[in-house]
Every structure is written in structure tokens, then in C-alpha cells.
Structure 1
């Protein structure tokens, strides 16, 4: 089994210590950091995303795999400064104002990072102006909004309206998710898409970025 296959296996089985060793071994063997990320870590997380989507694994396994991936990324990220490593796109993500829930949002952020996106995670209970500032400052390609309460869903509409007021709406794709949210609600508030779970969020983000 080659090193990339070993890395993929270590990621999918959540073995962070082994991921670290394999990453260091790859670097010592002269492999490029970008190749280790794409062919090892991201490839492993792609398998996890597919299994999660098909209900073959559940949240705990995804969390373990994401932690293992981050163990490798922690070694590799400093080596990427000044290189040509281009993420698939930049995603600003957060749970809207008034809503402290973040487990689903964290899972989506992990899966998107595992798929090769650069993530700017603003956390939970995020004020609209903070979303707007981050989209502007980071020149984000996607804004991902989460809400777990029916009472906070209207904040998503407020964010979309503020993007329009600030002339940013055409520059960024908006995707939404969370238990009370639906595709019809996405259509109603003028968002670009809705994902019912983290696996679908990855597919949606990829499709939005290619438009």
C-alpha cells in the first residue's frame, strides 16, 4: 500500500497519531505538501463524506476523521505559505444572531475543509454586520448560514438583504442549513441553495463554486 493509501485509511479510521507519522514520512520522502493534502487527507475525507451521505457512518466517526485530518493539516499548513496551493474556494460560515447552536455548523465546516475549501468560521450567535464584514474582507466565494431555531430563521433573510444593500450579493453564493430550514425557505429569502446535512453541503458548495 502506498503512502497516500495509508494516509486515506488513517484518516477514515480516525487515527490522528498515524496520520502525523505518515505526513512526516511523506515530507521526509520529498513529497509535496499540496500532494499529501490532496491525495491523502482530502481523499480520505471524501470517502467519509460519501459514507456519511449514505448513512454508512454517523457524526462520531466524522468527528474522529476530521480530527485525524486536522492532525495532518497542522503539520502541512505552515509549509503552504507562499506556495501555489489554491483552495477550492473561501467559505465564511456561522450560526445566525440569537442562535447558539453550533454542532451541525461545526460538522459542515469540517466536511468543507476536508473537501479542500478554506474555512472562515465565525462561530455561533453571529451578528449580521460580522457576516458582511467577513465576506468583504476575505473576498469569500460562499457564505454558509446555519439556524437551528424557527425564531432565528428570519436572521438569514436579514443577512441576504444586507449583502444586497452592500453590493455584495452577486459576489458571493449563499447556502443555508439547519433543522427548521428548507429549500422552499432558501428560495423565499433569495439564497442560492439549501443542504439538509453536511454531506450534501459539500456537494452543494462544489456545485455553487463551479457556477
Structure 2
């Protein structure tokens, strides 16, 4: 069954550009607000959007995880809601995708994408019209909301000095680095992503906020890397090729460093050969991989396959994380990882578990 879904995904990917072009032609013939919105875009941008929808569908089929596609459609619904585009237009767009796909896929491959798309259509009315804020009263980190909100506002105001001052003052009051990472940095990054998704933030603003937080994180590095090596374990942490969102995996590496591990952080967009070389060079016990977007999952799966195929990497354990794994909790099993963690704190626990080294203190 797994190979069958992979073959369908491969067939869809091979036809993605052609399908997108056909969608572009047919969408203009629909008398909907969504069609008018697409008409305001350049052909190049519209085709990019169509190919993006198909990429999410392909990845969901490859992993046999409908939630990966359903989550994308839920996001799309909330985005269009803010543009005053009714959900009925989105449902009609899904009909169009399905109709076009049927002309490009072999007969035996049609049932699976039909199931995924029709499932999205059935659940569309129950999908939220708006994405909930990540800094909100009543959540588990409510006591941190004031600091997180003030920090976020400083970033949105492009006031990096104030943002740094807020964090330095919190640290001087005794707030731990781990709490700052998880309850301030992580939540504000999620909220920045949400604001970008609903067109409340430009790409430039999103990049500025992320770069500012990375700079502020670096202020803690003398303290983080001054911890004694207590475990004897080594880990390599990186984002896979094509994934430029490195902050989450950077936090994971820093948490392991604070726990006394030797960490080797490779950064973003790392090619497979470089990852395997690092595992060998540093004789790593654990490889931590991150995929931020659904369309990075297949690349991450290829990394795991390549690592498993190399005899010199046979003993390394693989821990994965990132947004796609949070919305499809069994996804890590499908791609052959040893474990999954939803955040940096949980990564420590899972790393210990899969290496059977939880007895160290």
C-alpha cells in the first residue's frame, strides 16, 4: 500500500505543471469571487498557487496522511475568508482540481486523490473561518502572555532594542533560557507565521522578526555553550534541503546543549551528502531533522532512507519534528524515523528514550 501511494504521488508530481496550467485556464471560466481574485494575479503567481495546492495533495498521498491536505485546505479557507471569498468558491475549486486530475492520472491512480479531495470538501463547512492566535488568554502558558505580547509588538514595531531589553530583563528576573525559548520565542514565531498566513504581515516583516529573534537568541550562546559535557552523547541537528526555516531545530540543538550533549548544528537547507558526512565525522548517536512545511516531508524521508542505507550510519537514531508531524502524529512512523517530538523540551525526553539513556542526571 505504501508503494502504491508513492507511485500515485510520483505520477501527480510528474504532471503537476500541466495540471496547474489546465487549472489556470478553467478557473477563469468559473463565475466566482475566487476566479476574480486569481484574475488579479499574474499568470506566474497564479500557477505557483495552483502548483502549491497540488504539492500539498501529493505529499499527503505519499505519506497516506489526509490531515496534511486537510490542514492546508483549512488554512486556505481562513485566508480566503479574510479576502471575503466564500467557502463555496473553495469547494468549487476543489471540484475543478479533481476534474482536471482525472484527465492526467492513470485509471488505477484516480481513487486515492478522489478520496482525499472529497474528504476535504466534506469537512470544509466545519473548518474554522479564522486561525486562532498563538498568544491567547486561557492557554497553558497564559502567565507568559504579557511578556510574549510585548515582545511580539516590539518586533512588529521593528524595535529590536526594546525586544532585546524585554528578554534581558526577564532573564535577570530569573526566567530560564528554556522558558524564554518555549514560552516567548516559539509562541511569537508561531504567531508571526499566522499573521503572515492571513496577510497581516509582509514577507519582509516576517523575515525581520525572525532575524531579530535569532540575533537575540545568540546573546545566550556564551551561557548555553558553557555547560559541561555530562552525557557522552553527540547529536547532529539540521533542516533538510529546501527548508530555510531553521529556528525550531536551532532551539532543539540548544536544548540538547544545555542538557550536556555535544551538539553539531548544521543550519538550514542541508544536502543529504552533507548530513551523512557530519554523522560519520562526529560519530553521532542522534540525528535531529526538521521539516517546517508539508512539501519538505518527502525530502526528509529521502534523508532518512539515505542514512539507513549507509552502513557507517547504521547505529544512529533519528528524531524528527516540525509542523507536519504535529498535525499528523503518525507521520514519523511512515517515513522511518525512530521518534518524534513536538517541541525542544519533548525532544530531550524522546532523545533519551530512543537511546535508552534516560538514567543520566
**TM-score normalised by length of structure 1:** 0.64
What are structure 2's unaligned runs of at least 5 residues?
A: 1-167, 188-212
Q: State which of 103, 123, 137 in structure 1 corresponds to 2:267.
A: 123
Q: Which residue of 1 is the match for residue 221 of structure 2?
A: 70
1:199 and 2:345 are equivalent in the alignment = yes
Q: State which of 170, 185, 188 in structure 2 corresponds to 1:59.
A: 185
Q: Which residue of 2 is the match for residue 158 of structure 1?
A: 302
Larger CA Rg, structure 1 vs 2: 2
What are structure 1's unaligned runs of at least 5 residues?
A: 1-10, 20-43
Contact in 1 for aligned 2:280/2:313 (Cα 8 Å) = no
Q: What's the CA shift for 1:167?
A: 1.2
Contact in 2 for aligned 1:45/1:114 (Cα 8 Å) = no
**TM-score normalised by length of structure 2:** 0.39
SS in 2 for 1:94: strand
Q: Which has the higher helix share?
A: 2
Contact in 2 for aligned 1:105/1:146 (Cα 8 Å) = yes
Map 1:1-211 to 2 at 5 A: 13-15=170-172, 48=179, 52=182, 57-59=183-185, 70-72=221-223, 76=226, 85-181=229-325, 182-210=328-356
Q: Which is bigger in relative contact order (C-alpha 8 A, separation at least 6)?
A: 1
Residues matched between the structures, number: 162
Q: What's the CA shift for 1:151?
A: 1.3
Contact in 1 for aligned 2:224/2:254 (Cα 8 Å) = no
Q: Which has the higher strand share?
A: 1
Give runs of ≥4 in structure 1 deviating > 4 Å. Answer: 63-69
